[in-house]
């Protein structure tokens, strides 16, 4: 079964602290994995994808096939990072994204 698990509903950190949003997945084969973000009163948007190996807004995510994880990390959180973050993977059929339940990141000063 294809599944994405985000174990934390809420993660609260102080500005400048490191952030790690956890994502674990279940998938047969090589998954395409993504992080989406939804800022307050904005629409859901792509943050980054594992295949690009890029850093966006200081965030990175490494695919660990052994641990079936794709955790999102940032060394120093900013208040503007406060948002809802969703981990997602492409379905086996390639037509859909399967989302986790999301984690709310709250960064306070």
Partner 1 sequence: ETGVTQSPTHLIKTRGQQVTLRCSSQSGHNTVSWYQQALGQGPQFIFQYYREEENGRGNFPPRFSGLQFPNYSSELNVNALELDDSALYLCASSHRGGANTGELFFGEGSRLTVL
For binding to partner 1 (CB under 8 A), which residues are involved? 4, 9, 32, 34, 36, 43-46, 49, 86, 88, 90-91, 93-102
Q: Residue 38's beta-bridge partner residues?
A: 84
Pairwise CA distance, residues 23 & 36, whole Å: 12
Q: Give least dist CB 64 to partner 1, A.
A: 19
As measured in angstroms, the least distance from the Cβ of 100 to partner 1 is 5
> What is the distance between the alpha carbons of residues 104 and 18, in angstroms, rounded to a whole number?
15
User: Of the two residues 13 and 97, which places its CB atom closer to partner 1 in the complex?
Assistant: 97
**Distance in Å, CB of 82 to partner 1, minimum:** 18
* CB closer to partner 1 out of 36 and 59: 36
Judged by beta carbon, residue 52 or residue 76, the one nearer partner 1 is 52
């Amino acid at each position: 079964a294809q599944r994405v698990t985000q174990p934390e509903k809420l993660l609260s950190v102080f500005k400048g602290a490191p952030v790690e949003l956890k994502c674990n997945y279940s998938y047969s084969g090589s998954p395409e994995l993504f992080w989406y973000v939804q800022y307050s009163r904005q629409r859901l948007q792509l943050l980054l994808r594992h295949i690009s190996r890029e850093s966006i807004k200081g965030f990175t995510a490494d695919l660990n096939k052994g641990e079936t994880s794709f955790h999102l990390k940032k060394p120093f959180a900013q208040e503007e990072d406060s948002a809802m973050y969703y981990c997602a993977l492409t379905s086996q059929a390639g037509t859909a994204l399967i989302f986790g339940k999301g984690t709310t990141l709250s960064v306070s000063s």
